[in-house]
Amino acid sequence: MKHFVWAVTVLFVLFSIISCGGEDSGTDGDANMDGDETPTDGDTNTDGDASPDGDENVDGDGNISRLDCDEVGGQKQCLDPATDIIWQNSASTDLYTWEEARQYCSSLEWAGFDDWRLPTISELRSLIEDCPATATGGTCDIEDGCTATSCLNNDCAGCTAGHCYWDPAILSPCNHSQWSDTSVSDSQGTAWFVGFYNAGINSDQKNNENLATCVRGADADGDIDEEQELDKELEIENELEIENEPENEQDVENSDLTEAEVDSGSVTCTMIDTEEVCSDSITGYDWQNPAPDTTLTWFDAVTYCNDLDFGGHTDWHLPTISELRSLITGCDDTVTNGDCEVEDGCAYYTCMSSDCNGCGESADCYWDADLNGDCDSNYWSATETPEETSEAWFVGFYFAGIDTDGKNTPSRVRCVR
């Protein structure tokens, strides 16, 4: 009997030991054994971070950026390798009129640089992501080369609002539209914008207020891209080779220039088929020659130059006031860098002084002798007056004066590229 009780007791103890050990599903007491779906340290990746090993372009939410950002003095600038332009990654939260936005960017000192500017509509559009219709190359037609209201189509409306349609490295607020530097060519006092909250592209009155994110055109080290600079130098050399070819008899026959006038200044003219293009070796600008024998309103002048196919080129535009002013010769006050302060960066009425009145009427035009065309009327520039968007700046080459006029006033035009 004692042996039976002892045997039962031993069996009971063994059963208890086996039962207690079976409560754990793994040999180490953890919920997971080696080789399970999650690592033994409980982390979702092997280095304990939320981002892949070695990836520096990841924001706090794990979104990977295509921009290459660097920080200088606590301020970041971000290079877009697709466009080779650099973005301010954190714009001011203040709202600006269009002209104020331009001034904000042009006076900005950020990440050690002071050459910032307001982006064109094509540049600003290049930031759009995840909305194919308005991203670069999308079916919305608005871009630097198409700035009229007719370029706006249904595809420019963008995508469903709900998040910022741009790279996660850009920290600017996207709850409001962002100004571009591009004016609507056929709508007085308006400019194009992008609303990154829905990736839409549209226009607004310039005296309304929107956000601004600034851009600059150097590489991430602050130097001009060497490859781009080399391409530009080669392009200029090729143009100069074409321009400096001796005129043939047919060219001289088709020109009103005398032999003495050929080397009169910095402008050299070249016949391309039956159309003459005059290149300025100082500024690098190409000018239509002669100026058309007609007068146009400012709006028609903008459209005329944008649509011009002349001398084998289609990239003509109405010159800015600085570009147009570069043609003035023989009047120290209004030539480029003269005492008259009106220029692209100073287009307010307050920039105009008595020095802008020119040098008095002359029978000869105050421009290079190689240029042809009547100068009995003012020539439009593309530069508007910020205080009064119904007016724009002009140059009167018959007296070398710079002033403003209403955009509906017929004046002359000479296109540039």
Sorted by where each starts, the structural domains of the chain and their CATH numbers stand as 68-216 (3.10.100), 265-406 (no CATH)
pLDDT at 179 over 70: yes
Q: CA end-to-end span of the chain, whole Å? A: 118
Which pLDDT does position 2 carry in this prediction? 44
Task: Kindly state the tokens that stand for 24.
Answer: 């754990």
Which pLDDT does position 299 carry in this prediction? 93
Q: Is 39 in a helix, a strand, or coil?
A: coil
Q: Which long-range contacts (CB under 8 A, 24 or more apart) does 314-317 make?
A: 315/145, 315/417, 316/288, 316/415, 316/416, 316/417, 317/382, 317/415, 317/416, 317/417
Q: Are 105 and 213 in contact (CB under 8 A)?
A: no
DSSP assignments along 248-298, one per residue: -HHHHHT----GGGTTSSSEEEEEETTEEEEEETTT--EEEESPPSS-B-H
Which pLDDT does position 172 carry in this prediction? 66
Element (H, E) at 240: helix 226-243
Which pLDDT does position 265 carry in this prediction? 57
Mean confidence (pLDDT) of the chain: 76
Looking at 85-99, 197-211, 223-237, which range is the least confident one? 223-237
Q: Tell me: the pLDDT tens digits for 182-201?
A: 999 888 789 999 988 889 99
Looking at 11-20, 43-52, 318-327, which range is the least confident one? 43-52
Highest mean pLDDT, choosing among 19-28, 98-107, 369-378: 98-107
Which pLDDT does position 137 carry in this prediction? 93
Other beta carbons within 10 Å of 211: 23
Task: Write the CB contacts of 266 (distance below 8 Å, at least 6 apart in sequence).
Answer: 280, 281, 282, 368
In whole angstroms, what is the distance from residue 376 CA to residue 399 CA? Answer: 9
